[in-house]
Structure 1
C-alpha cells in the first residue's frame, strides 16, 4: 500500500460509509473523472444511483467545505440552477469517515454547453448574473481568495524549489514568470474591484446543458474574487471572437447584475495566473498515482518547453490593450 491520500479508500470502505448513512448500496461502484477529489457513482437498491464525492484530505477544512455547501444552499434557495449536496434528515450535508470528508449528490446528466452558439453564451451570462447577485450578499469567512500570492507567487516558488522543471529551462521559467507577475501586479493594482463569492472554476466542463438550460456543478473551488473570473473561461478564439462572446455574456449578465467594465483589464492577468497555478497543481499532486497516469506528458522536457512558450505568448498578450465590449461601455 502506498502513502498517497487515497490509498485506503477501497471500494468496500466507500460502500460501507454510504451504507452507514442509511442507504442500501447494491454493490455497483463506478469511478468518475476527477483527480483533485475522488468521485463515484454508487448504485442504490430500488432507486437511482447517487454521486459520492470524497474530498482530498488536508485540502479544505470542515469550515471551508461547509461554507461551500451553505453557498450552494443559498443559491438553490434563490432558484439558481445547480446540483446541490444532499442533506440527511438532521440537515447534515457533510459526512466523515476517518480522514475523509464526503458528500452525496443526486445524479444529474447533461453535456457541456455549445459555446459556438451566441444564444447559449447569453443564457450563460444570465445564469452568472443570477449567481453573482447572490454572491454579492455576503463574504466567505473561511474560504480563500483568488489572488496573486496563492495562484502566482506560491506556484512559481513551488515549481522552482521542487525541481520539477528541467535544469535547461529553469532560468527561462524563473525570469519569464517573474516578469509576468510584475505585469499581473500592475493590472491588479490599477483595478479597484470589489471581491464577491464566485464559482471560481467556471469552465464548460462544470456546466451541464440539459433541456435548454444550464445547470452548474462542482463548487469545490468557490472563492472570493473579481466577477470577471467566472466569465473569461467561457470565451475562446481570437480577439474578435472573444469580443463578440463578451458582448453576448454581458448582455445576459446585466439583466440581473451590474458589471464593472474596469474588471476587463484582469482577464489576461487571471489567465496567466491560471496557467501558472495549473502547472503547480499537477506538480503538487505528482505523488498521487492517479496523476502520473493521467498526465504522463507532464514530467517531460517537451511539456515544460511548450509551457514556457505558452507563457511567453501570454506575456505578450499582457502588453496588449484589455478586451472591450463592442459598445465601448467603459
Structure 2
C-alpha cells in the first residue's frame, strides 16, 4: 500500500492531470491536508484551479468509488450544494495512474470553515441533511460498507485484536473491553432505515459560502446506514449536553423529511462503533511513514491505557443510558 503512494511523484501527478483533463498544467502543486488520501491543488495553464484526490490504494474498489461519485452527482442534480467530481477524458469520473492509483478531479470551491452559531444555522444544517438523505434513499449502494455491528464491527474487532498492536496486559484489557462492547452492540443495535449517507458528516466537512449558504464536502466515507449517523457527528459534544442543537437539527430535518426519533437512542452505540473503527483503521496504517510521523505514541502502553479507558467510559455511558 505504502509503496504505491511512494510512486506518486510530481511527474506522475502532472501526467495524470493532463491526461485526465486534456489540458496543460502550470507548475502549481500544493499538497492539502488529508489523513487517508493524497490531495493536491493544481492550476491549469488557463488559470483554472482543480483539486486532485488520489485514493489510498486498497481501500475502495473501483465500483465503490463510482458509487461515491454517483451519489454526489445525484445530489448536485438535485441542486444540493456539494462538490461533485468532474467527468474526465475517459468518459467517467474516475481516473487511474500508470501505477494503478485511482483518482478524481474536483473543481476548486472556496468557503470558510463552519462556525457554531445561531439557532438558524442548526436548522439549515438539518434541512441540508434531509435533502441529502432524500437523494440517498433513492437507490442502494451495494459496494459500500454497511454501518451495523454484524456487518463491520465484528470484523474490525477481530482484526484489531489479532493485529499485534497490543501485547500482554494491554492486549488482555483491550480484548475484554472490546468484547464487552461488542456484546452490547449485538444485543441493542436495531435494524431500521438504511440509506446512503455522507458517513463522516462532522463540521469540518461543511463549508459556509458567503452569499450562497452551506456546502457539504468530502463524501469519501460514504456508507449505507441509519440517517441518525449524519446528525450526531455534527453535535459539539455529548448528546445530553447538546439537546438544544439536536432539537434544532431535527426541526430543520423534519421540515423536509420524516425522521425516526427512536433512532436517537442508538447514538452512543454508533459512537462506540466509530471508536472501534478508528482504532482498527489506524492499526492498518501503522506502517505508513506519514502516519508514524504524525502519531509517534500510537500503540505504546500509555496510548493503550488512554484508549482502553475511553472505551470503558463509553461502555459505561451505554449501560447507564439503558438502551432497550
Normalising to structure 1: TM-score of the pair? Answer: 0.92
Cα deviation, residue 247, structure 1: 0.2
Partner residue in 2 for 1:262: 262
After the TM superposition, which residues 231-310 of structure 1 pair with which residues of structure 2 at under 5 Å, given as runs? 231-310=231-310
Distance 2:181 2:160 in 1: 15
SS in 2 for 1:6: helix
Partner residue in 2 for 1:153: 154
Distance 1:278 1:66 in 2: 24
1:321 aligns with 2:317: no
Distance 1:45 1:322 in 2: 61
The size of the alignment, in residue pairs, is 320
Say whether the 8 Å CA contact 2:88–2:95 is kept in structure 1. Answer: no
Say whether the 8 Å CA contact 2:19–2:89 is kept in structure 1. Answer: no
Identify which range, 72-81 or 39-48, moves more after superposition: 39-48
Sort the Cα spacing of 1:132 and 1:256 in 2 relative to 1 into closer, same or farther, 3 A: same
Partner residue in 2 for 1:111: 112
Partner residue in 1 for 2:165: 164
Partner residue in 2 for 1:8: 7
Distance 2:117 2:149 in 1: 31
Give a deviation string over 1:284-309, Cα, whole Å, max 9, x none. Answer: 01122111112223132222111111
CA RMSD, Structure 1 to Structure 2 (Å): 1.8
Distance 1:277 1:9 in 2: 27
Say whether the 8 Å CA contact 2:196–2:223 is kept in structure 1. Answer: yes
The answer for unaligned runs of 5 or more in structure 2 is none
Normalising to structure 2: TM-score of the pair? Answer: 0.93
Distance 1:41 1:90 in 2: 21
Cα deviation, residue 322, structure 1: 7.2
Give a deviation string over 1:79-122, Cα, whole Å, max 9, x none. Answer: 11100001136642111113111110011122332235432121
Distance 1:26 1:165 in 2: 47
Say whether the 8 Å CA contact 1:27–1:43 is kept in structure 2. Answer: yes
Say whether the 8 Å CA contact 1:80–1:130 is kept in structure 2. Answer: yes
Distance 1:246 1:309 in 2: 27
Say whether the 8 Å CA contact 2:73–2:84 is kept in structure 1. Answer: yes
Distance 1:253 1:259 in 2: 7
After the TM superposition, which residues 28-67 of structure 1 pair with which residues of structure 2 at under 5 Å, given as runs? 28-67=28-67
1:26 aligns with 2:12: no
Partner residue in 2 for 1:194: 193
Say whether the 8 Å CA contact 2:88–2:94 is kept in structure 1. Answer: no
Cα deviation, residue 168, structure 1: 2.5
Cα deviation, residue 241, structure 1: 2.7
Cα deviation, residue 234, structure 1: 0.8
Cα deviation, residue 154, structure 1: 2.1
Runs of 4+ in 1 over 6 A off after TM superposition: none
Identify which range, 214-223 or 230-239, moves more after superposition: 230-239
1:72 aligns with 2:72: yes
Distance 2:318 2:182 in 1: 10
Identify which range, 53-62 or 115-124, moves more after superposition: 115-124
The answer for unaligned runs of 5 or more in structure 1 is 324-330
Cα deviation, residue 192, structure 1: 3.7
SS in 1 for 2:112: coil
Cα deviation, residue 62, structure 1: 1.3
Say whether the 8 Å CA contact 1:83–1:216 is kept in structure 2. Answer: yes
Partner residue in 2 for 1:133: 134
Cα deviation, residue 144, structure 1: 2.1
Give a deviation string over 1:30-56, Cα, whole Å, max 9, x none. Answer: 111113111111122132321001111
Distance 1:10 1:90 in 2: 22
